[in-house]
Structure 1
Amino acid sequence: MLARSAAAVGWFGFHVTASARRARPNFIIILADDLGYHDLGCYGSPMKTSRLDRMAAEGMRFTDFYSAAPVCTPARAALLTGCYGQRVGLPKVLFPEDRIGLNPNEITLAELLRGRGYATACIGKWHLGHQPPFLPLRHGFDYFFGVPYSNDMTPFPLMRGDRIIEQPARQETLTERYTTEALAFIARHRDRPFFLYLPHTAPHVPLHVSERFRGASGYGLYGDVVMSLDWSTGEILDQLRTLNLEERTLVVFTSDNGPAIFKGREGGSAYPLRGGKPLVWEGGMRVPCLMRWPGRIPAGRTCTELAVMFDLYPTVARLAGARVPADRVIDGKNIWPLMAGRRGARTPHRAFFYFRGERLEAVRAGRWKLHLEQKLIENGKLIDWLPPRLYDLEADVGETRNVAPDHPDVVRRLERLAARMKEDIRRHGRPPGRF
């Protein structure tokens, strides 16, 4: 750890002065767990999300923002490392019995920012390895209050730092306790730059909500849980206003992947998208995303360009004056031109790749999305086969009409992109940490 930290400082090569710390913006990334594309009012939901809708009106709403995976662990790895989870050896959901986690050699966004003089906190669900070498305090966070993995796994401890303070965690209290901790962290660090990563446990099933919100939404338990997340975000935005930090703070709200639609009324909605977690249909990986920064991000805007969760890594680094590591492949791109609403700004991605576990299942380039040929082989015999399926997302966002027979040239082009990406991951992939 000491060697890695020294290397990080070496990349930056600077002395952080008090005036420089004051000039740097704060960053808050709020990550819901399994929230669907259609689960906020500003995305068409009838559920009550007045504070998040107001955040959209005061900032920017993204229509084509993607998680890097349709499940928890690789999505969170992508956010913090700027890479597809497959590139950093974490392609699948981690379980309590697993003995791997985010490699200590990875340089997280928290480490980049701490190297620039930022106070850093992770408050909420981690899910990148629960053994000591993989916990947040070993990955650039000064402070951790939260849970090590999903709320449907056991044992389910609540931790402060590396210490268990409650087991099992009282799930109906978590959203409000996370919020209290987040507000206290902001207040403590109002006079220095800070990075707050707030990955909520909700609305992952099983659903839990405090009595304060039970029955309040009019849309069942799922609506109550979403309402509590809306309240939490509003509390944070109000705190920034009270402390005169609004114009110095970028706030991002998004989800780690799509909704668990297989849970019915308790699983959320991705309408008008097809599918949900854990599949690579749009509903599994296209997620709501709101960004707010008064004076820097124009209010009331909608961005329709493709952007990915791992783009936050190089973008936030740039805004903080940090250099992205040059000794490894980083998949994320700087999307500040999109966030700033610059005229003519376009996605920096030539293509986006939809991984499910270790398998690359689809690729998008512009309006076209290709689901790759799939073969199911058991005992050396072909059991099932799906041909390539091509969809025009501009005309058919619900992926209902396969137009592959009409565009064989597009199919071949996207297949070549997929083949190159598979080879790139093979050549430039990195291992997970092992315990």
Structure 2
Amino acid sequence: MTQVKKPLLFIYLLCLVFYAPRIYSQESKPNVILIYTDDLGFGDISFCGGKIPTPNIDRLFKDGLSLTNAYSTAATCTPSRYSLLTGEYAWRAKGRGVAPGNASALISAGRQTLASVFQKAGYKTAVVGKWHLGLGGKEGPDWNGEIKPGPLEIGFDHAFLIPATGDRIPTVFVKDRRVVNLDPKDPIQVSYGEKIGDWPTGKENPELLTTMYSHGHDQTITNGISRIGYMTGGTSALWRDEDISDRLVSESFLFMDKAEENPFFLYFSTHDIHVPRIAHERFQGKSDFGPRGDVIIQLDEAVGALLDYLERKDLLDQTLILFSSDNGPVWDDGYVDQAFELIADHDATGGLRGGKYSAFEGGTRVPFVVFGPGIPKGESRNHIFSQVDLLASFAGLLSVEFDPNSAVDSENHIDLLLGKSQSGRQGLVQEAIQNVLTYVSEEGFKYIPPGKGPDMVPWGPKIETGFSEKPQLYRLDQGEYENLAEKMPEKVAQLAAELDAIIFKK
């Protein structure tokens, strides 16, 4: 018996030596899904007081850790997404504002990103959904050929993209480096200047529209909707807006299936709430708040589909899910969909002043929750946190070295994300339209520098800009209604100096 046991024991020890590191590695590297929604406010979630039912998103909040003072870096989408991926505030260089649909890649090939941090740690990585960070070289994307640089040059193994936004042409999907379902005999042509081709436009042919524009958005019509920009060709590649959400979910499943033994990072970038708000037929009329309410229900189902997938695959207890938004909510943003008229008692900002585009809190203070193994259930933290910190935080979790000169604004707050810390940032910068920068301090003050600009967002969304020729100082626990600048000049001077120190940081 002894002679039999010794070989077995020896084999067992060998297994421990060779396989234990791998087992430990898999256990210490959870799968990570970042659900990055578009134009979603605090009050759009029923758990946070919203009137539209969102049971699946509510589950994340009920069983996860909510950061109640988390911020996107900007009140618009492109700069928020740039900062989230690079760890650098977008305003540090020109040309990182809201990108046109034919913009060149804003993140240069080979640059360190959140995705490359995961890739360096042995993860399979993918982005599925809205990109809006430009594609291609100096001349922009070659829609009829190989489209690069793009996500695959900055740390993603796979990409399935809405190249910009649904209200910008071309209205086609890009998979990795190619337009999906493109017929080479029907090449795509795109212009953001003069009209090209003979495709009808909303301005010239409003009788062809199934969704009417309210301001802008009156150029080439696809799927009954006029967009920003002109295009012709690529007919077989055009998407149907009603199917976008389902397609993004199914593409996410395909990626996670192929990840197999590897841990995976999925940047799931939804589009539902961004205009044009065209829900799938099964959601149309499901809310009492018109198309905007319907697409929130659609978003919630997409979140539920991801949760169901993880449960079916026995991956839920191995997966960390982060859920947030790129900026605050907006109502009339270019189409007549009665979002403002049907808002009733639904407070999309959750009581915050302003909204998308604004220097007020409603522009950048966004829902943020972490859900997964080891995360405190149903708890919240009120320490300030910025999405720009995700790169340094996950580099810390995964013991991956990163270049702080590239991710110059990213701080490691992984302990806050995991519920192990009672501290956050000392301060952060927010970017509104017209490159207005504001500062939020750890002690709960908000400083908005003086500057010229309109009181309201000028193109029609009925949102306050927060601009004033006088300095503004607010206590955030009292809302942004009493300007304390004249009463507290020393605090104004202190926060102005702290803002300048970040702006001129080397």
| TM-score bracket for the superposition, by shorter chain length | 0.7 to 0.9
302, 313, 320: which one aligns with 2:391: 313
C-alpha displacement of 1:340: 2.8
Q: Which residue of 2 aligns with 1:368?
A: 445
The question of 1:422 aligning with 2:437 is answered no
**Kept after mapping to 2: 8 A contact 1:125/1:146:** yes
More divergent stretch after superposition (315-324 vs 24-33): 315-324
C-alpha displacement of 1:110: 1.0
The question of 1:44 aligning with 2:44 is answered no
Structure 1 unaligned segments of length 5 or more: list them.
1-16, 378-383, 429-435
272, 292, 298: which one aligns with 2:371: 292
More divergent stretch after superposition (48-57 vs 164-173): 164-173
309, 328, 339: which one aligns with 1:266: 339
Q: Which residue of 2 aligns with 1:148?
A: 163
- Structure 2 counterpart of 1:266, which letter? A
Spell out the pairing of 1:50-129 with structure 2 (5 A cutoff).
50-87=55-92, 89-129=94-134
Larger radius of gyration: 2
Q: Deviations over 1:6-63 (max 9, x none)?
A: xxxxxxxxxxx75465231111001111112210011110101001111111111221
**Kept after mapping to 2: 8 A contact 1:104/1:138:** yes
Q: Which residue of 2 aligns with 1:14?
A: none
**Kept after mapping to 1: 8 A contact 2:42/2:367:** yes
Give aligned pairs, total: 398
Spell out the pairing of 1:275-424 with structure 2 (5 A cutoff).
275-294=354-373, 296-342=374-420, 345-347=422-424, 349-356=425-432, 359-365=435-441, 366-375=443-452, 386-396=469-479, 399-424=480-505
- How many Å separate the matches in 2 of 1:376 and 1:237? 44
> Residue 266 of structure 1 aligns to a residue in which SS?
coil
Q: Which residue of 1 aligns with 2:210?
A: none
Spell out the pairing of 1:158-173 with structure 2 (5 A cutoff).
158-166=173-181, 167-173=237-243
**Kept after mapping to 2: 8 A contact 1:38/1:44:** yes
> Residue 406 of structure 2 aligns to a residue in which SS?
coil
> Residue 307 of structure 2 aligns to a residue in which SS?
helix
> Residue 421 of structure 1 aligns to a residue in which SS?
helix
253, 257, 281: which one aligns with 1:211: 281
Return closer, same or farther for 1:90/1:253 CA change in 2, 3 Å cut-off.
farther
Return closer, same or farther for 1:395/1:91 CA change in 2, 3 Å cut-off.
same
Q: Deviations over 1:227-258 (max 9, x none)?
A: 11111111111222222222221101111111
- How many Å separate the matches in 1 of 2:84 and 2:401? 17
Q: Which residue of 2 aligns with 1:222?
A: 292
**Kept after mapping to 2: 8 A contact 1:34/1:256:** yes
Per the normalisation by structure 1, the TM-score is 0.86
More divergent stretch after superposition (74-83 vs 309-318): 309-318
**Kept after mapping to 1: 8 A contact 2:101/2:165:** no
**Kept after mapping to 2: 8 A contact 1:73/1:90:** no
> Residue 91 of structure 2 aligns to a residue in which SS?
coil
- How many Å separate the matches in 2 of 1:88 and 1:361? 13
**Kept after mapping to 2: 8 A contact 1:317/1:323:** yes
C-alpha displacement of 1:335: 2.1
**Kept after mapping to 2: 8 A contact 1:130/1:149:** no
Return closer, same or farther for 1:276/1:249 CA change in 2, 3 Å cut-off.
same
The question of 1:139 aligning with 2:154 is answered yes
**Kept after mapping to 2: 8 A contact 1:65/1:308:** yes
C-alpha displacement of 1:319: 2.0
- Structure 2 counterpart of 1:162, which letter? R
Q: Deviations over 1:283-324 (max 9, x none)?
A: 010111121013x11001012111111222112222223122
> Residue 174 of structure 1 aligns to a residue in which SS?
helix
Q: Which residue of 2 aligns with 1:433?
A: none
- Structure 1 counterpart of 2:423, which letter? R
> Residue 286 of structure 2 aligns to a residue in which SS?
coil
Return closer, same or farther for 1:358/1:419 CA change in 2, 3 Å cut-off.
farther
Structure 2 unaligned segments of length 5 or more: list them.
1-20, 137-146, 182-236, 455-466
**Kept after mapping to 1: 8 A contact 2:86/2:406:** no
C-alpha displacement of 1:198: 0.5
- How many Å separate the matches in 1 of 2:377 and 2:359? 31
C-alpha displacement of 1:129: 0.8
Q: Deviations over 1:57-106 (max 9, x none)?
A: 11112211100111111100111111211236553011034345212242
> Residue 386 of structure 1 aligns to a residue in which SS?
coil
- How many Å separate the matches in 1 of 2:245 and 2:174? 14
**Kept after mapping to 2: 8 A contact 1:25/1:319:** no
Q: Which residue of 1 aligns with 2:172?
A: 157
130, 134, 137: which one aligns with 2:135: 130
- How many Å separate the matches in 2 of 1:418 and 1:339? 25
- How many Å separate the matches in 2 of 1:289 and 1:361? 22
More divergent stretch after superposition (40-49 vs 186-195): 186-195
- How many Å separate the matches in 2 of 1:126 and 1:52? 22
- Structure 2 counterpart of 1:257, which letter? N
CA RMSD of aligned residues (A): 2.2
- Structure 1 counterpart of 2:483, which letter? N
12, 22, 38: which one aligns with 2:26: 22
- How many Å separate the matches in 1 of 2:437 and 2:82? 19
Q: Deviations over 1:350-388 (max 9, x none)?
A: 2111223573431111211011011469xxxxxx96110
- How many Å separate the matches in 1 of 2:106 and 2:427? 28
- Structure 1 counterpart of 2:444, which letter? R
- How many Å separate the matches in 1 of 2:179 and 2:48? 38
